[in-house]
Structures are given as C-alpha cells and as structure tokens.
Amino acid sequence: MQPSRFQLGLVAALAVGLGFSLASPSAIGYPAGSAVSSGSNPVFSFGGFTHGSEGVDLVTVPSDQVAVITDVVLMSYTGYGAYSCDLEVTLRDSSTTLGAFLISAGTNTYYSSSAGNPASHSFASGIAVGPGEGMRLTTDGSCSQMSYTISGYYAHL
C-alpha cells in the first residue's frame, strides 16, 4: 500500500513542528574574566567639581575587590576675565598614573565665563584599580573649575 499525499504532508508537518519545539533558545554571551560584584555596591559613580589645581580623593577599593573604571566625563570652565584655559587631569592610584586627559574651554569675550566641550570616554576593557588602592583625581592648569563623573564596577578577585 502506498502512502497518500495527506499522510506524507502530515508526517512532514509533524517533523517540522517537532524540530521547532526542540530547538535551543538563543545563547547570550558575557565578557570573560571577573564577575561583577554581587555585594552591596557592585557599581560606582563619583562626581563633583574641582576648583583650580586641587585634587580629589575618590574612593579606596575594598581589599577583596578590583575597581574597574568604565566611563570618564570631564568638562572645564573658564573664569571671568579669561579667554581660554587648558587643564591637565590625572587619575592615579598610590603609585601609578591610570589615565591622563587634557581638556580646554574658551570664550570670545573677556567679560563672560564659558564651558568647554565635555571630554567623554568609555573604555572597552576598563581601567583597573587594585585591591586596597585609593583613586585620586588631580588637576593642573589655568581653568578655574572642572566637573567630573567617573563610573565603573567592582569585581571580585
């Protein structure tokens, strides 16, 4: 006895349905390496203003973790009576310069202040700050003020 077209069609439809029902869902990959901390503060963000050439102590990294800086946003401001200014910004731990940036601001009139264009950077791999290390932001230059935001996450060792 030969199978009918109906039987062949039914078997084909059942095979396709079974294939879809057994297919795996799409896989989602995450970067290899340390996992984001599941502690009370797995991510961090620090922001504020500096005036003149002053430094800012941001944080001391817990002794069982590494801080990974992923994003830095900086903006400088000229003061009244200044046409333009430049500012060197350095991010350091206790012994190493982790990052250095040069930002500028300018104005075309002597009697007004001006904000520069924001310097914004997202790091593909991040800047690591070791366990127990402090992070410090220092500035040097002619700008009267700078705003900053630094963010990232803590990773377990």
Residue 112's CATH number: 2.60.120
Does the residue 38 lie in any domain?
no
Does the residue 113 lie in any domain?
yes
Domain limits for position 52: 43-156
Place of tokens 């800012």: 56
Does the residue 22 lie in any domain?
no
Counting DSSP H helices and E strands in the chain, the numbers are: 1, 8
Strand ranges for the chain from DSSP E: 43-51, 55-60, 65-77, 84-92, 97-106, 119-129, 134-141, 145-156
Of the pLDDT bands very low, low, confident and very high (cuts 50, 70, 90), residue 149 is very high
* Alpha carbon 38 to its chain's center: 18
Does the residue 24 lie in any domain?
no
Q: Kindly report whether the global pTM for this prediction surpasses the value 0.75.
A: no
Does the residue 1 lie in any domain?
no
Does the residue 137 lie in any domain?
yes
Work out the number of other CB atoms within 10 angstroms of the CB of residue 25. 5
CB 66 within 8 A of CB 154: yes
pLDDT of residue 127: 92
How many folded domains does the chain comprise?
A: 1
Does the residue 29 lie in any domain?
no
In tens, the pLDDT along 43-67 reads: 899 899 887 677 899 989 999 999 9
Does the residue 73 lie in any domain?
yes
